[in-house]
Amino acid sequence: MPRFFVDADISKAQTLDTAFYTDSSLFEEMKEKIFASSWQFIGSEELVKDNGDAYPVSLLEKYMDEPLVLTRDKNNAVHLLSNVCTHRGNIIATEPCKISNLRCKYHGRLFHLNGKFFSMPEFKEVKNFPSEDDDLKKLPLFNWGKWLFTSLNNSMDAGLFLKDMMDRLSWLPVQDFVFHPELSKDFTVKAHWALYCENYLEGFHIPFVHAGLNAVIDFGNYTTELFKYSNLQLGIAKGNEDCFDIPESSPDYGKKVAAYYFFVFPNMMFNFYPWGLSLNIVKPVSLSECKVSFLTYIWKNAKFNTGAGSGLDTVEMEDEEVVENVQKGIRSRFYGHGRYSVAREQGTHHFHRIISGMM
């Protein structure tokens, strides 16, 4: 039986062995087995608005730390490229800029904005040069509206991760959502990245941990739906709290939906409210620390910070406290496995099943 076997029958299953959260060699293995194989949020096309724009990105800084660069070429096409020179490995773009070519400042190697090698001084005598190996590696880009996603090894189709969410919310004009950097922030959490995700994946704790959220969400009608590499927790409004105006074409028509909480494996949380989106990206830092980036996109200013989408900083502090206590607890010699609530922990069980398969 695999080391991290999780039974498909939730009523029989045990949670992941605590070694998953405490073994440093496994933390390294996850880089390739989980994160390089999945799809990650890169940002928005707005980072490279105009032809000639280049914007460096470090994917999962302090963990994967993969140097990438977004570009928009003269034909208005957006590319995601390795930001590492194919000559001696120098980082090429170190800050956002407007350029006609990518130029390495070390020895002057030039690349077109689509990553193709252009020129190199003092290389006339080099045989079999240039070759495809001298081009910058081009990574796949998947668009949802203006949002961009990529995969380092591109081993699985992006649709397996994102399509169920996109189909469910196809009526939402996500291209109209406006990013607000002044309302976005990072939180450092003293806990393993997966513990933070597990907490998000079940509403079981809401009545015990989130008094404010529990006051506006109908916990009795809180449901979880599972997809291949994502899931949805549907928050139904109590009383006259703000809810979505849902079209008849949606399977949720007639429901008082206060929030769509979509989790996309392994670390993306799309929290849609009547005012817009709070996108949370969980970034591993160490065995006992992660960084959570809260990115705020507003659709309807008048509704901002109302209903289930209000007081998010308070909800975050409440989550951090309990997750950091779990981090302390999983290191105990007296804890090895837990069990799942069949009614309330389908999302966490689903998360563990995916991890079990990948590890």
Average pLDDT over all residues of the chain: 93
Could you tell me the residue ranges of all domains in the chain?
40-150, 162-358
Burial of 98 (0-12, 13-18, 19+ CB in 10 A): exposed
**What tens digit of pLDDT does each residue of 214-251 get?**
666 666 777 899 999 999 999 888 877 789 999 999 99
Predicted TM-score (pTM) of the model is: 0.94
Predicted confidence (pLDDT) per residue in 296-317, tens digit: 999 999 899 887 777 788 888 8
**In angstroms, rounded to a whole number, what is the distance separating the alpha carbons of residues 213 and 206?**
7
Listed in sequence order, the DSSP H helices in the chain are 19-22, 24-30, 159-168, 193-200, 206-209, 211-214, 312-329, 346-358
CB 351 within 8 A of CB 282: no
Do residues 329 and 231 touch, judged by C-beta distance below 8 A? no
186: helix, strand or coil: strand
Give the separation between CA 54 and CA 338, rounded to whole angstroms: 48
Is 53 a residue whose pLDDT tops 90? yes
Q: What's the CATH number for 162-358?
A: 3.90.380.10
Phi, psi of 295 (to 5 degrees): -110, 125
Q: Which fold has domain 40-150?
A: Rieske Iron-sulfur Protein (2.102.10)
CA-to-CA separations, 39 to 156, 198, 227, 230, 245, in angstroms, rounded? 9, 19, 15, 12, 30
Same fold, 40-150 and 162-358: no
State the Cα–Cα distance between residues 152 and 136, nearest whole angstrom: 14
Residue 339 and residue 10: Cα distance in Å, rounded? 8
